[in-house]
Structure 1
Amino acid sequence: MDLLYAFSSVPKELNFIDHTSDLGWKEHERFEKLIVDPSLYMDSNSELFPVTEPRQMPDAFKIFTGSPWVILTRNFTEHCVHGWDNLPRKLLMYFANTAYSMESYFQTVICNSSKFRNTTVNGDLRYFVWDDPPGLEPLTLDESHFGNMVNSSAAFARRFAEDSPVLKKIDEEILNHSSDCASLSGRRVMDVGSCSKWGDIDVLRPSRAGEQLRRFISEISQTRGCS
């Protein structure tokens, strides 16, 4: 309900995708180094292996990178599938030999497309906590992160340990799920009758968190485009 309410305040053509053209260390470590993924050609999964010969940075398009967590519109997703200007297919072939391509493919497609580049909102609406220096994965969230997570206005967060107490805290204090109902932490439904009551689905009654998320999404949606 809160998500529906929050997103109803912005145009439907917006794509929420964290992106930057400042590649930093990734230019050499990710894009100048070729990798081969045998899983693309074989039935079983196997480890990637690097190719010794490097490749030059492309000049036909500009590479962008960012978070692998994206919120994409149907129009842009169809563009990636059908590729009527051939760019999505060309980039699919390029990133097939790039490590962690999910952090660059959609960013590069949308920021090199004149039709969609101005539909980008630079954010993934997710809350992470990184170590210093950052590793490959964010830190596992616990109750000590609860306050900052709530105040961040993010719609999503990761990572959580299975059955972590902070999940129950989110259920009860943010999502207003009672301990008798199914929860994020996997609690079994005890009272089916009380947990299956519905109000008027055509009436949006957001919580305080929903109001906060709506303000945050409206604010970050004011700035669009790629640079």
Structure 2
Amino acid sequence: MGIKGFTIFFMLLAILFSFLYIPTKLILPISNFRPIMNFLNVQRSDKPYPATFAYLISASKGDTGRLKRVVKALYHPANYYLIHMDYGAPAAEHRDLAEFVAGEPVFNQVGNVWLVEKPNLVTYRGPTMLATTLHAMAMLLRTCNWDWFINLSASDYPLITQDDLIDAFSELPRDLNFIQHSGHLGWKLNKRGKPIIIDPGLYSRNKSDIWWVIKQRSVPTAFKLYTGSAWTILSRSFAEYCIVGWDNLPRTLLLYYTNFVSSPEGYFQTAICNSEEYKNTTVNHDLHYITWDNPPKQHPRSLLLKDYRGMVLSNRPFARKFKKNDRVLDKIDRQLIKRQHGQFSYGGWCSGGTGKMYSTCSALQSENFGVLRPGAGARRLKTLLTRTLSERNFHRQQCR
């Protein structure tokens, strides 16, 4: 076969694969996505808010109640929300969430809350957790324009309003990545770096634990391993780098972390700290308030009323983890995010006039679209960001 024959063959092959490719859909298909400004018919700039966030909120079996609560607490018309309910959850829970999203008038009016229509089976401590995060990033990059990507679970909760978060981040460079990390693996060297595991969720529709391989492996020499928190705030630029991987490092690391225990605690850390282009954009902080038992157990300690003061004094915008409808959540609603039962957190988009707060925040005030009313939460977060990004702390704590 000559060169011309090979050319025709590969052209036909490419056409065949294009027919086989079926992109993952959202409950609201991307083809029906309408930019928020056109939908609201507000004659303003394309980006009326100074900073925007894309959220992935993950949940599993039994999480529907607290997932609905955290979505309402986090909601803001400036942002985008992608909800992933584990494939292993009962069909009734998937339907319940679909009805929740479809039945909320504000979600329908703005069009910025979606469910993953074809969810993934997620194995605890397996790479399917990481795959789901990358999957969500890819969909959100394709669908909408945002500045930072935030991954949360149904057991997380905000400690400030979204107006506070937007206001505090509006002053930051858009290339910053909040990734808590360390190159000193310690006990994780033998518990994370050397073991080899297989995640059945990569090839099975039946929920099961990861499989452990008897043989262990040596530490890589082609790149340095880093570890840290699975909860991150990533810039759009770095998110694109992880998806596109134009220098192949993200793909190489993805293949390596396929057999790695708790890969979400290492993939982004290792990717950014081994990248000459992005390693100087890291902020060594996950902006979460989390407490652990001593010695640490597999999961962090559930936060209670006795932890409330520590959460506030930490100046952090998020905390985890919480039990369903714990009393401390009610106190956070009342005192920190000004949220009435079943309604949204306080924000300029749904409030009354200047200095006035409605008893409920349940509907979009179209004339207030683009209005921010930050409060004490913004001041607390700015204090934390100023300290974290100071010349003394910022570069000294990068990729060590």
TM-score for both structures, normalised by structure 1? 0.91
**Aligned counterparts, 1:80-159, within 5 A:** 80-159=242-321
Give the drift of 1:123: 0.3
Matching residue within 34, 41, 52 for 2:214: 52
Greater relative contact order (Cα < 8 A, sep 6+): 1
Quote the residue 1:219 is aligned against. Answer: 387
Quote the residue 2:343 is aligned against. Answer: 182
Residues 194 and 167 (structure 1 numbering): CA distance in 2 closer, same or farther, change over 3 Å? closer
Task: List alignment gaps of at least 5 residues for structure 1.
Answer: 185-190
Give the drift of 1:142: 1.1
Residues 193 and 52 (structure 1 numbering): CA distance in 2 closer, same or farther, change over 3 Å? closer
Partner amino acid, structure 2, of 1:200: N
* Structure whose residues are more often helix by fraction: 2
Quote the residue 2:375 is aligned against. Answer: 207
Residues 5 and 194 (structure 1 numbering): CA distance in 2 closer, same or farther, change over 3 Å? closer
Q: Secondary structure at the match of 2:234?
A: coil
Identity percentage over the alignment?
Answer: 41
CA distance in 1, matches of 2:368, 2:379: 19
- 2:362 maps to 1:195: yes
Task: List alignment gaps of at least 5 residues for structure 2.
Answer: 1-162, 346-357
Number of residues paired by the alignment? 220
Give the drift of 1:42: 2.1
CA distance in 1, matches of 2:228, 2:270: 10
CA distance in 1, matches of 2:278, 2:370: 31
CA distance in 2, matches of 1:47, 1:126: 27
Matching residue within 202, 211, 231 for 1:40: 202
Quote the residue 2:170 is aligned against. Answer: 8
Partner amino acid, structure 2, of 1:182: Q
Give the drift of 1:194: 6.1
Largest Rg, 1 or 2: 2
CA distance in 2, matches of 1:106, 1:85: 15
Residues 113 and 194 (structure 1 numbering): CA distance in 2 closer, same or farther, change over 3 Å? closer
Give the drift of 1:52: 1.1
CA distance in 2, matches of 1:21, 1:88: 18
* Structure whose residues are more often strand by fraction: 2
CA distance in 2, matches of 1:183, 1:80: 33
CA distance in 2, matches of 1:53, 1:193: 58
CA distance in 2, matches of 1:134, 1:13: 33
Give the drift of 1:183: 6.1
